[in-house]
Chains A and B, each alone.
Chain A
Amino acid sequence: GESVGLHLPTLSVQEGDNSIINCAYSNSASDYFIWYKQESGKGPQFIIDIRSNMDKRQGQRVTVLLNKTVKHLSLQIAATQPGDSAVYFCAETFNQAGTALIFGKGTTLSVSS
């Protein structure tokens, strides 16, 4: 079946750097995308979402970029902090009642001081 994937399983950055986490999706019918953060021992938590009629959305220190032409999604974290260390997942779905979220494999972000 179609799936959402991430380019890199791990990413290591220094505190204060900007982080970019990438995700490729293959279902052209998907029209809603979400980034989740999962800290050790916890369930995933919502970070930011974006609909397919947008190509950029900004939150607090985070930005999601969507490139529908190449089916690519990215999460940018500005001024990365040690508390940002976690596993990050992208997820996709499409606008139909009863549709599940499909997740990628995740990228582990490690932030060193």
Chain B
Amino acid sequence: DVKVTQSSRYLVKRTGEKVFLECVQDMDHENMFWYRQDPGLGLRLIYFSYDVKMKEKGDIPEGYSVSREKKERFSLILESASTNQTSMYLCASSTQTGRGSAFFGQGTRLTVV
């Protein structure tokens, strides 16, 4: 069974902390994505990566960075967490051209206090 696994379901962090969200996929997909989901705003793309060590900004990259050192792993980093980054974070992966479904992880609910 194909899987995208996010390291945590729930996280609570303090304002100013550096936060790491980890995502691993076992489908040998080239593309990996980080989205943020907020009520009424749908899924907004933060960053994506189409190859190891490659990254592209999405619609809302401010306050975030990413790392992709290995094909199967894509990390989202909040350099200095703020309360407006409280959200559901979703990782996904897909084939190089995006054809076929993108597979999503179960999500990480991050609360910044």
Contact = CB atoms under 8 A, between A and B. Distances in A.
B42 A44 contact: no
B104 A101 contact: no
B85 interface: no
Nearest to B9: A41
A56 to B, nearest CB: 19
Nearest to A105: B42
Interface stretch (B12-20, B33-41, B64-72, B73-81): B33-41
Given A43-B107, A44-B104, A105-B40, A97 B97 contact: yes
18 contacts: A34-B102, A41-B106, A43-B4, A43-B92, A44-B90, A44-B104, A45-B104, A46-B103, A49-B101, A89-B43, A96-B97, A99-B97, A100-B45, A100-B98, A101-B92, A103-B35, A104-B42, A105-B40
Interface of B: 4, 30-31, 33, 35, 40-45, 48, 50-51, 54, 56, 58-59, 90, 92, 94, 96-107
